[in-house]
Structure 1
Amino acid sequence: MTSERLTPSASEVPDPEDRTRLRIEEFRKRRPRLVDDVVTMAHGAGGKSSAALVDHVFVEAFRNPLLEELGDGALLRLPTGERLAFSTDSYVVQPLEFPGGSIAELAVNGTVNDLAVSGAVPQWISAAFVIEEGFPIDRLTQIARQMRVAADAAGVQVVTGDTKVVPHGAADGLYVTTAGVGVVPAGRELSMESVRPGDRVVVSGTIADHGMAVMLARGNLDIEADIASDSMPVNALVEGLLAAAPGTRWMRDATRGGLGTVCNELAQAVGLGVVIDEGLLPIDPTVLGCCDMLGIDPVHVANEGKFVAVVPAEETEAAVAALRSRAGGGQAAVIGEVLAEPAGIVAMRTPFGGTRIVDMLVGDPLPRIC
Structure 2
Amino acid sequence: STHEPLFGKTLLYIANIGQHEDFDAARKKAEKLGAKKVFIEDLRSEFVQEFIWPALQANAVYEDRYLLGTSIARPCIARRQVQIARSEGAQYVSHGATGKGNDQIRFELTCYALYPHVQVIAPWRIPEFYSRFRGRKDLMEYAETHGIPVPVTPRAPWSMDANLMHISYESGILENPKNHAPSDLYQMTTNPEDSPNEPDVLEIDFAKGERHFPQICSIVSELFLLWFLSGKHGVGRIDIVENRFIGMKSRGIYETPGGTILLHAHLDIETFTMDREVRKIKQGLGIKLSELIYNGFWYSPECEFVRHCIDKSQENVEGRVQLSVFKGQVYILGRESPKSLYNEELVSMDVQGDYDPSDASGFIRINAVRLREHNRLQGAAQKKH
- The normalised TM-score by structure 1 is 0.26
The structure whose RCO (Cα within 8 Å, separation 6+) is larger is 1
- The normalised TM-score by structure 2 is 0.25
Which structure has the larger Rg over C-alpha atoms? 2
The answer to which structure has the higher helix fraction is 2
